[in-house]
Structure 1
Amino acid sequence: MNLFNYNKLDKIEGIMKIYKIILSLCLISVLAGCDKKMTATKEDTEQVTTTTTEQVETEQSNGITEEEIAKLHIIAEDPNALPAAAKLAASYLENINGYTAEEIRELIAEYDASQIVEEDTTSDNVSMEYRIDTNSQYIGNQLVNTHYLNVLSLSDSVDVDRVEVNRGNCNVQFRNGSNPVGYGEALKFLLNCDPHNVREVKVYLKDGRELLMTPQ
């Protein structure tokens, strides 16, 4: 091989080296760009995630639960609720994050308490009263007085379980009457104690309630 061919090979090898260097530089540049792009994408993702988390925290910052929000809807739509309570509940719903959890829960607690009072008032509508009658008759030459306790219903239907006089210290024995007791009807008991000593008559109903009556 002549000198010319050697010089030609040297030039080709030199060009190849330069090409490899250029190719390496391009590859490094591309990789650097990708890494920068990936870094930026990661930062953007973290920023979006942070923003979303902050938004969720803001929406739930007052600590109100979905159950409590549902209860506010009930109060606002209840035709029997106090107008002021219904109006306040509607106001809370319009701007749920504008009020504290304590304010909202106080309204719910007051509403629940009013419902309990209403139910108790309804259940206390049962009314009764008592009177004592005396039947006098002669047995031989002796006048005998027999005393009867009449427990009268002032309600449409009262289902009586038992009657107690003077906390059980005065014995009574059932004589007649129908149970449940209708309005104006009475249960009659034989009273085995001095009627002047009667201080308390308690009627126990079958639903667990108790009616206490004292002399007027």
Structure 2
Amino acid sequence: MASVGESVRKSLQDFDLGDIDFSLLHACNAVDGTAKKLFPNMGVAERFTRVLRDNYLILGPFGIPGINLVETRWPVKVRAPKAPGGLPDAADVIYGIHRCTHGHGDEMPAGFELIRNANSTSQNNWAKIEKGQVQFFDNLIFGMLAVAVASPVNAAQNATDGCYLTLHNMKFNLKDWWGKREDLLAILAQMEFPVVTINFAHMMDLE
């Protein structure tokens, strides 16, 4: 299996080539590898969603801006959601739909494909919602990569010379950010990221 650093590099390379599916696959692998290091005794689903959930303050600004990821629940069916309350949060959707689909080599279910958006100047293009379906924008990939890069368990990773992420007008050269979660959170805390909690109660009856 590729290292976390190699998965991050491959994800960004595939994104530049316009292959969002493979880019997301490698981003999922980067989170998977990070989660396995952090929580080796947990099951795959629990540790994958735990890593994302523990890092919503990073995943949100880079990947799903404008949304309160802690409180928002999404109107889709996923197997055994782990979020408090029994309804799926963003981590559950990312694992249950995207990670499992790509990890098993299956075709992405209709209505869940990522929407190309990375070059948009808008700060709050985050998702397209219909009952039973959520299409996140492709910024999601960058949020997942930021979570993996910043995790302290990946401090010794490399393989990302020349790779970077941007947020607003800031450029983050990844070779300088491996393992620096607390430093990244400190910078993000100084930036203004207004968020809203979306109530999808009227869409939650999915039977």
TM-score by length of 1: 0.19
Which of the pair is proportionally richer in strand?
Answer: 1
Which of the pair is proportionally richer in helix?
Answer: 1
TM-score by length of 2: 0.19
Bigger Cα Rg: 1
